[in-house]
Amino acid sequence: MMSKRLLALALATLMLFALTAVSIADETEEVVEVRVLNYFSLVNPGALDELTRVWEAFEAAHPNIKLIREDEFEEPFHLATEAYASAGTLPDVMFAWPSGRSTTLHTQKLLKDLGPLIARDGLAEYYLPSVLDPSAQVAGYLAIIPRTVTATNAFFVNMEVLNEVGLEPAKTYSELVAQVPVLAAAGYETVLMPNESTWVMQSCLFSLVAGRFMGENWEQKVLAGEAKFTDPDFVAALDFIKAMYDDGVLNQSTLAIDYGAGPGLFATNTAAYYIDGDWRVGDFITDAATGEALIDPSRQENFSITVFPEIDVPGVKFNRSNSVVLGTGWGINANLEDGSAKLEAAWELVKWLGGNEVQTFLLDTGGIPTPSRLDIDFSTLTFEPLQVAISNLGNEYDTPTVVIDGAFEGPVYTPLNDGLQALGLGTQTAEQVAQNTQDAFDAWKATQ
């Protein structure tokens, strides 16, 4: 009897020791802190839902990874990026572009090459081949995994306004000009495009216009020294932007409209047309957190999305084109050591942020119009009419052309961005903008 009692006591002691050991291991297991610079604003539609379904979900699934997240949006985000890069204090994980506004991160090789990690974990089969093309990123390697392929020109058409004044959607620029006095007489703007931020015109319209005047792969000719920004075709493209203001298609007042105000103004029928990028659809559809939409689904059938109309002026090489670029994604600080717990934790986060669950969430909420992943189950999603319209945008054009701030570095496109605004204000001519841009390009080229 005594031996059985001793055996039971021994077993109980052993179990207690094992449980204690597990408890101690849980308490002492290393918690890895990962600093994140996130492109995010709480005022964005779906923001609260994103906090729960993206960030809190990751932390719940990875209790030994502690995220220290800094949220910035628009210009403050880019200023923070440049400040961290200059100081050598980049966060462990950060939101980034494959080019353009993230040029510093790429040219200074501040982001880690994700190619070996993608290969190690066998992830390539889940993504569109184009988004894993190293040559498509300024770094020359996979500094980020783009979440989408982005069309930077989406031409929104408001049939409620057009029907009221008895007009059909303009198919050519000449038709657009002819509609200006009719719409103005009824108190409507023709085209709404919030241009206070100087990047908007260049990215969302002028890149398309430049492509139509200059032709395919025009940026490669400039980079190779075979063409210049001062060439007649580029000057003609700039002159066209000036003509849009002169013709009243764009009102000079749009140069003072904040970018964030655009969706609300268009949703309340201030204009017949609205120019933005394909990403803007998420601002119009139902916010899952509030159940409200800027344009109620019952109204969305009254809106369509296409590309800017045919430019029927001399010198245009082709129409039915759009400016297209790889979308944004997430990168990892290049200083994180291979094999370290910090790198593995950062990689777990980047895989999650570019994974099936997050891309499905972003599709569902309008955060991205076109996913980069191939394994999305669309049958689980119920799209509103504007989401369907934006998903069909690729059928509205035949030829993709470059987005200027995706092909050239900041020192080159910044004077162009400023010059496009000066055209609208009438403080510079097309020739002056072209010369300033070429001078900036020459200065940049001399440093390469």
Domains and CATH numbers, the chain: 30-145+328-371 (3.40.190.10), 151-325+386-446 (3.40.190.10)
What's the rounded Cα separation, in Å, for the pair 385 and 391? 10
Asked whether 304 and 159 are in contact (CB, 8 A), the reply is yes
Quick check: 2 pLDDT over 70?
Answer: no
CA dihedral sign, ordered 67, 70, 71, 74: negative
Alpha carbon distance, N-terminus to C-terminus of the chain: 88
Mean pLDDT along residues 189-202: 97
Report the alpha-carbon distance of residue 70 to residue 374 in Å, rounded: 30
In sequence order, what are the residues at sequence separation of 6 or more whose Cβ sits closer than 8 angstroms to the Cβ of residue 6? none
What type of residue sits at position 203?
A: S
Q: Read off φ and ψ for residue 304, nearest 5 degrees.
A: -130, 165
pLDDT at 224 exceeding the cut of 80: yes
Provide the pLDDT confidence category of residue 47 given band limits of 50, 70 and 90.
Answer: confident
Q: Is the pLDDT at 13 greater than 60, yes or no?
A: no
Looking at 186-307, which runs of residues are DSSP E strands?
189-192, 271-276, 303-306
pLDDT at 448: 86
Q: Average the pLDDT over 115-135 and give the result.
A: 94
Count H helices and E strands in the chain, helices first: 21, 11
Q: What pLDDT, on a 0 to 100 scale, did the predictor assign at position 8? A: 46
Dihedral sign computed on CA atoms, order 137, 138, 141, 147: negative
Give the chain's largest Cα–Cα span.
106
**Mean pLDDT on 388-395:** 91
Q: pLDDT band at 297, cuts 50/70/90?
A: very high
State the Cα–Cα distance between residues 387 and 385, nearest whole angstrom.
5
Quick check: 190 pLDDT over 80? yes
Q: Give this prediction's pTM.
A: 0.81
Residue 406's pLDDT band, with cuts at 50, 70 and 90, is confident
pLDDT of 136: 87
CA 328-303-270 angle, to 5 degrees, is: 95
Measure the CA–CA gap between 125 and 123, rounded to whole angstroms.
6
Residue 148 has pLDDT above 70, yes or no: yes
Q: Is the dihedral of CA 447, 332, 68, 259 positive or negative?
A: positive
Mean pLDDT of the chain: 92
Q: Is the pLDDT of residue 138 over 60?
A: yes
Residue type, 202: Q
Mean pLDDT of 183-209: 97
Q: 161 pLDDT band (50/70/90 cuts)?
A: very high
Angle between helices 341-353 and 356-365 (to 10 degrees): 40
Q: Each residue of 92-114: pLDDT tens digit?
A: 999 999 987 898 999 999 999 99
Q: What distance in Å separates the CA atoms of residue 342 and residue 252, rounded to the nearest whole number?
A: 50
> Sign of the C-alpha dihedral, residues 32, 38, 41, 44?
negative
Q: Give yes or no for a contact between 265 and 195, defined as CB atoms under 8 angstroms apart.
A: no
Between CA 362 and CA 359 the distance in angstroms is 5
What is the per-residue pLDDT across 82-93, written as a single tens digit (0 to 9) for each? 999 999 999 999
Among candidate residues 157, 147, 166, the one with its CA nearest the CA of residue 389:
157
Q: Which segments of 121-158 does DSSP mark as H helices, in order?
A: none
In this prediction, residues 185-207 reach a mean pLDDT of 97
Q: Which residues of 102-124 are buried (b: 16+ CB within 10 A; e: fewer)?
A: bbbbbeeebbbbbeebbeeeebe
pLDDT at residue 123 in the model: 97
Question: Which residue type sits at 231?
Answer: D
Q: 370: which residues sit within 8 A by CB, 6+ positions away? A: 148, 149, 150, 278, 391, 394
Residue 104 CA to residue 26 CA, distance in Å, equals 41
What pLDDT sits at residue 194?
A: 97
Per-residue confidence (pLDDT) for residue 15, from 0 to 100: 47
CB distance 265 to 271 below 8 Å: yes
List the beta bridge partners of residue 189: 271
